Structure 1
Amino acid sequence: MSNKKKVLLVGAGNIAKTHAAALREIPGVELYGVFDVNAATAQGLVKEFGAGRVFNSIEEAAASDADTVHVLTPPDFHLSSAMPFVAAGKTVLLEKPVGVSTAECEQLREAAGQSGAVIGVNQNLVFNPAYVQLKEAIASGRLGKPRYLDYVYEVPLRQLAARQFGHWMFRKPLNILLEQAVHPLSQVLDLAGSVRELSVLAEDPVEISPGVGLHNACQVSLRCERMPAHMRFHVGAEFTVCRMTVVCDDGVAVADMFANQFHTLERTAYMEPVDAWLSARATGQQVKSQGFSVLRDYVIATAKLKPRSDAFYLGMKGSLQAFYQELQSQGKPRIDLDFGAELVSVCEQMAAAFKPLPAGATPVAEPAPTGDLVVVLGGTGFIGSHTVAALLGQGHRVRVMARGVNNLQPVFSRPGVEIVRGDVKNKADLERAIAGAPYVINLAHGGGGANFEAIRAAMVDSAVMVAEVCRAAGVQRMVHVGSIASLFLGDAGETITGATPPDPRPETRADYARAKALADQALMDIHQKTGFPIVLMRPGLVVGSGTSPFHSGLGFFNNDQYCVGWNGGQNALPWVLVGDCASAIVAAVTAPAAPGRAYNLVGDVRPSAREYLADLSRTIGRPLKFVPSSPTGLWLVEMGKWLIKRVTGRAVARPFKRDLMSRGLLAKIDCSNAKQDLGWQPVSDAATFHRQAMAVHAGEGSA
């Protein structure tokens, strides 16, 4: 019989994999079981990490003999997910935030008091390696007494950049603080102590949907138990800074959490000019040494010669390790319910200072359209919002199905638009959404996955199911919006037309392009075998208002400032404005010649990668740089990574030079059939393209 503590994970999303991996490195514990409302996701986690079992219900899990439960569900489900285990008297570790209100924290406290349950919170930034070094340096006394703490938290936000405003963190002003600000605040409270008083200078909110404001930036001054502190909070930043500076009587300590670097500013025994030089040299040596250590550890960890050692993972592992060590040594964790509840309280006080959105103009009533109903699947995104607007402009009624239906753009509140929640991979959802509609536009790609089989199931199988449901429901026409990624575009001497078939060698392409090619081929096979009217739309590099101008068609961006091109960056690229893309999609709904045909959607203004980035740099006033490369060089680098992973036993797909050639978009693309069949007239004026593709981003806020 094992004496290890049995750990149960509730929630099997991405963070669960990090918990499971960290638990492998912590002595005295074992992954006992998993519960998730999606049984397939739970099964996948169990298979990957060797957990004992999958539980069918949360009640079954709460009745099990698990010793400790990690609650890893979304924040608004923390209370309901944790309560059965707290009531059962188990030890519970909640992901941050511990709750979404002080009232929820009190409910947890009351329930724990009655059952004897122990509650901890995973605040992983408290165990960030650079922060731990800073804390140890201050505790040693070599810098003297700490007097003041300053924190700059300027970070990008993937969901914000992708305009995924349906995410929980955007639903009300407090949520962005509970999701993001608790990270730096956890370190502030850990080092400076409990907050006695605070004041907030909030910046103006940004309206992300009608009546919904995003408060993504503020400054907060805090009078804490051990020292005063000031924090700059900004999510959606272009340059990442996550840095704590502590001013002491005899030096300064600086920790950079994301770069995983710590250094100090200290004095020497020498006169001021010499001291300035020696101190600067010592600080520089610290920064140089730590920067090299980060690079060295990354290379060694990638080669599987040592465990994973990036700052995020080490912080997570340190948090879980401390939790179990403190349970064993003192019966309760230091980062407990009280600590987490104070963070929630501080966030509530900050949110109370946020400014409301200014009153908007009363919308002018407009008549509802009376035309044919068009169902748009996955229609709340970038292309979808413009497509819905174009459909309304043509007098169509629109029903939009999407997984997320919160904080949508104004177009989705217009008369004639019906919103239904659903998943394109769920047949019942599709049948409900499509019922009674003569036309369907499929913009949903089905999602991603951990491997190609999962991606194929999400993207290819979902497209086929949409077609089958449409056919069974008597839909008159289905317009499927794919991508030119389904084509091989690496031959500069080839001209691609609407008749060009999907890449005949999809196995040599990256997972996304491979799935797109297979989906296009599967849909054309259905049309040819059954006669069901399907139209394929293959947009190029779609740009315009509502998406980032940093398009992956240019190359890959390790950060927004530098773009490493797929080639030398001198060939014309297949750009298309989102408005032009939407107009072609809408035209394909009723164009007589469209069924059974594929249309490439590329505009007539086609700047090269170098030209586009240089123009964008001038327009938005940022020093953007294009770094030319070669497909051969990129392929050799990818092959080197692949060989290291294979040697260390990791089963990963081999990279193909052919895929990198296609990403360079060298082939000429002919859109004459779209212009002829659909009456399509994309923008041909360079100044108009510049205005709609680039100038629209000048002076934009971070949202």
Structure 2
Amino acid sequence: MPAKKITLIGAGNIARTHASVLQSIPGVSLHGVFDVSQGAAEAMASQFKIPVVHDSLEAAAMSASDVFHVLTPPNLHLMSAMPFVEAGKTVLIEKPVGATAAECQAFAAAAQRSGAVIGVNQNLAFNPAYLKLRNMVLSGNIGQPKYMSYIFEAPLRQLSARQFSHWMFREPGNILLEQAVHPLSQIVDLAGPVQELNALAERPIEISPGVGLHNACQVSMICERMPVSLRFHVGANFTVCRMTVVCDDGVAIADMTSNQFHVLERSAYMEPIDNYISSRKAARQWAGEGFAGLRDYALSMIKLKPRSDAFYLGMKGSIEAFYADLASTGKPRIDLAFGSHLVDVCAKIAQGFKSLPQTDAPAVAASPPSGALVAVLGGTGFIGAYTVEALLRLGYRVRVMARGAANLQEVFYRAGVEIVRGDVKSPSDVKAAVAGVAFAINLAHGGGGGNFEAIRAAMVDTASLVADACVAAGVKRLVHVGSISGLYLGDAAAKVTGSTPTDPMPHTRNDYAHAKALADATVLSRHQSGGMEVVVLRPGLVIGAGTSPFHGGLGFFNNDQYCVGWNAGSNPLPWVLVDDCATAIVAALEARDAAGKAYNLVGDVRPDARSYVAALARSLGRPLKFVPSSPTGLWLIELGKWFIKRVAGQKVNRPFLRDILSRGLRSQFDCSDAKRDLHWSPVADPAEFQRRAIAVHGKR
């Protein structure tokens, strides 16, 4: 039988996981890919040797492919999948299958007319630990199930990064469709369809004026086979994803985060002995599975075993089950009806969400600002919000360009602020953003990538694009906001000023630092050629209300309780308060002596890493710990990882001790040039710094 031909609709990160899994499944082959970004589709086709890149959904639907994986954002599922459903194709749609019940009904009606087969990729329903629990409960070996408890406490990167334009924050129920469908998929799979539910939601957090995020709730459910209690909380500090099923003759527990499963059972002995035997058996199970996870990770690193993390195994299990079901019955077990039921359950839970309390409308300025128009690219982020506030305070009008314009902070809705959607990688978007402005501020970093070339293209090429657009538009001055990371900061005896050149050995640095140094040089070259006045600002470790206090300049965080320092943690660190940073950015627009220069923005209060973490622990009331380390030791660990990856055939850059030393930030900053030329006066009072940098994150 010829292999089934597969076309991927969407070429983002999740599509790469699907492609990787599909390459390991016999009887299927990657045939085509489509994405609205032709470049993204072509890059993916090159990476996975996909022969056909389609230029439209219609062209993909008319292709020779047998199955279509729809991997676009949830709000685009209906538009992306419907051409294939109406054509009677077999379709696998990423969770959630639809954004509303109406979309699910539209899929059902179209599939009934065309005969299309629709599956839903609910990867957590195939988590290995969950499957062990499921098999144990269904086997009857611990009696009949009586009750299920589920705790889902998870961090949320987009929440901590304040990326509130993401789809999951646009409507109250979207957070459930994006996140709660994970535990709900396991609940419905094992306990059966939800027949009744009662949701008790916690008070929402305000993410934008009048817009609340309901990130925590408790849900009591009566399901077909047992009652269920679900604790749902995203944005948590400690990750817990644990299902407990109480049966007549034992308790089954699955921990999806650590991918571990164990059972509590009785023995034939009296209770004290029985407790000891049961505890010892459970401990052996936990220890054995913990060791297996560590072993599999190590083996996969050196390519002696396929990738074996819980997320990937869940994705692999889901996609493999989809094709196995097609081969055996022609219909997937996790189908449209299953996915639609989850959407319906999410809608019912959302009915229990509370409204934000009414607050007084913000005061409106007596008259809108009438000063010069300033374009701020990438202006809706952390530093951007403070910069816009500072611009308005001085009477400037502001045009902010950002990729997402939903759920913004209050300052962006004030008179004098114009929001335009745009991507810093798009020449036409940048051209429109800077047209007719007197000054421009570039806060957009351009994104990242998997290798230096991708990061260089994201940071350096976009910085060049913005500078060229400003020159063409006749912008008087461009303020480019970079980072001190482009400097070498590992020499404790060195005094660093604005005139200190970027690292003369960039090849010894990480890709981000290397690209930052190149971006600064690229922008300054526009001033040197006489095309436009340019000022480069390099903020230090920016801190304040509105960002995470767990700054990467302290060290690296395997979790936010333990900071592993880049060194012993006793040297002063180059902190700068975000509002001080914004003040300097605005001052640089018209400072007479600043044109053509670079300045470092570091405040006068510079606690070391140990002191900062200790103060933060007191403020948060949490047992945070700073773990000192040896830069040489860290480098040897990185060197060992690099060696293993190279042996396994991966192309990765060799780590340098010099890079680790620079991350320790031991050099001394002298910012007298910024204070003089920009008339800049950062906070010098340690108590005030403590209040605005640390206490602002305190217990709430």
- Residues 533-548 of structure 1 mapped to structure 2, 5 A cutoff: 533-548=533-548
RMSD: 0.8
- Residues 67-216 of structure 1 mapped to structure 2, 5 A cutoff: 67-216=66-215
* Identity percentage of aligned residues: 65
Matched to 2:206, the amino acid is E
- Residues 493-572 of structure 1 mapped to structure 2, 5 A cutoff: 493-530=493-530, 532-572=532-572
Match of 2:630 in 1: 630
Match of 2:458 in 1: 458
Q: What secondary structure does 2:588 align onto?
A: helix
Match of 2:391 in 1: 391
Preserved contact between residue 619 and residue 699 of structure 2 (Cα < 8 Å): no
C-alpha separation in 2, matches of 1:334 and 1:423: 40
Match of 2:317 in 1: 318
C-alpha separation in 2, matches of 1:392 and 1:464: 27
Match of 1:682 in 2: 682
Matched to 2:577, the amino acid is L
Matched to 2:418, the amino acid is E
Q: What secondary structure does 2:355 align onto?
A: coil
C-alpha separation in 1, matches of 2:693 and 2:434: 33
Q: What secondary structure does 1:65 align onto?
A: coil
Match of 1:298 in 2: 297
Preserved contact between residue 7 and residue 33 of structure 2 (Cα < 8 Å): yes
- Residues 88-487 of structure 1 mapped to structure 2, 5 A cutoff: 88-366=87-365, 367-487=367-487
C-alpha separation in 2, matches of 1:673 and 1:290: 58
Query: Is 1:617 the equivalent of 2:617?
Result: yes
C-alpha separation in 2, matches of 1:72 and 1:685: 52
C-alpha separation in 1, matches of 2:323 and 2:263: 32
Q: Deviations over 1:373-405 (max 9, x none)?
A: 111000000000000000001111100001111
Q: Deviations over 1:621-646 (max 9, x none)?
A: 01000111111111111111111111
Matched to 1:558, the amino acid is N
Matched to 1:546, the amino acid is G
C-alpha separation in 2, matches of 1:465 and 1:318: 44
Matched to 1:483, the amino acid is S
Match of 1:586 in 2: 586
Deviation for aligned residue 1:292: 0.8
C-alpha separation in 2, matches of 1:3 and 1:649: 32
Q: What secondary structure does 1:694 align onto?
A: helix
- Residues 23-34 of structure 1 mapped to structure 2, 5 A cutoff: 23-34=22-33
Preserved contact between residue 364 and residue 414 of structure 2 (Cα < 8 Å): no
Preserved contact between residue 262 and residue 285 of structure 2 (Cα < 8 Å): yes
C-alpha separation in 1, matches of 2:198 and 2:431: 53
Deviation for aligned residue 1:599: 0.8
Match of 1:642 in 2: 642
Tell me which moved more, 464-473 or 359-368: 359-368
Matched to 1:314, the amino acid is L
Deviation for aligned residue 1:163: 0.4
Deviation for aligned residue 1:142: 1.5
Q: Deviations over 1:315-365 (max 9, x none)?
A: 000000000000010010000000000000000000011011111212322
Q: What secondary structure does 1:229 align onto?
A: strand
Q: Deviations over 1:229-277 (max 9, x none)?
A: 0100000000000000000011100000011000111111111111111
Q: How many residues align?
A: 699
C-alpha separation in 2, matches of 1:698 and 1:556: 21
C-alpha separation in 2, matches of 1:689 and 1:676: 22
Deviation for aligned residue 1:309: 0.5
C-alpha separation in 1, matches of 2:631 and 2:287: 32
Q: What secondary structure does 1:558 align onto?
A: strand
Deviation for aligned residue 1:139: 1.8
Match of 2:45 in 1: 46
C-alpha separation in 2, matches of 1:661 and 1:222: 54
Q: What secondary structure does 2:564 align onto?
A: strand
Match of 2:65 in 1: 66
Deviation for aligned residue 1:114: 0.6
Preserved contact between residue 125 and residue 185 of structure 2 (Cα < 8 Å): yes
Q: What secondary structure does 2:369 align onto?
A: coil
Q: Deviations over 1:444-489 (max 9, x none)?
A: 0111112111111110011111111111111110000000001000
Q: Deviations over 1:406-438 (max 9, x none)?
A: 100000001100000011111111111111111
Deviation for aligned residue 1:182: 0.2
Using structure 2 for the length normalisation, give the TM-score. 0.99
Deviation for aligned residue 1:527: 1.5
Match of 1:605 in 2: 605
C-alpha separation in 1, matches of 2:391 and 2:681: 17
Q: Deviations over 1:153-194 (max 9, x none)?
A: 000000001000000000011100000000000000000001
C-alpha separation in 2, matches of 1:448 and 1:563: 24
C-alpha separation in 2, matches of 1:27 and 1:530: 61
C-alpha separation in 1, matches of 2:438 and 2:520: 22
C-alpha separation in 1, matches of 2:104 and 2:639: 50
Deviation for aligned residue 1:525: 2.1
Deviation for aligned residue 1:526: 2.2
C-alpha separation in 2, matches of 1:53 and 1:670: 56
C-alpha separation in 2, matches of 1:660 and 1:370: 48
Preserved contact between residue 471 and residue 531 of structure 2 (Cα < 8 Å): no
C-alpha separation in 2, matches of 1:327 and 1:173: 35
Deviation for aligned residue 1:551: 0.1
C-alpha separation in 1, matches of 2:467 and 2:100: 45
Deviation for aligned residue 1:531: 5.0
C-alpha separation in 2, matches of 1:632 and 1:447: 30
Preserved contact between residue 502 and residue 517 of structure 2 (Cα < 8 Å): yes
C-alpha separation in 2, matches of 1:506 and 1:473: 32
Using structure 1 for the length normalisation, give the TM-score. 0.99
Long gaps (5+) in structure 1:
none
Matched to 1:383, the amino acid is I
C-alpha separation in 1, matches of 2:610 and 2:362: 42
Long gaps (5+) in structure 2:
none
C-alpha separation in 2, matches of 1:290 and 1:400: 51
Q: What secondary structure does 2:490 align onto?
A: coil
Match of 2:660 in 1: 660
C-alpha separation in 2, matches of 1:612 and 1:675: 25
Tell me which moved more, 554-563 or 691-700: 691-700
Deviation for aligned residue 1:699: 2.0
Q: What secondary structure does 1:590 align onto?
A: coil
Matched to 1:44, the amino acid is A
Matched to 1:255, the amino acid is A
C-alpha separation in 1, matches of 2:603 and 2:10: 45
Q: What secondary structure does 1:530 align onto?
A: coil
C-alpha separation in 2, matches of 1:643 and 1:61: 42
Deviation for aligned residue 1:648: 1.0
Q: Deviations over 1:187-208 (max 9, x none)?
A: 0000000111000111111110
Deviation for aligned residue 1:529: 2.3
Deviation for aligned residue 1:96: 0.1
Matched to 2:512, the amino acid is Y
Matched to 1:57, the amino acid is S
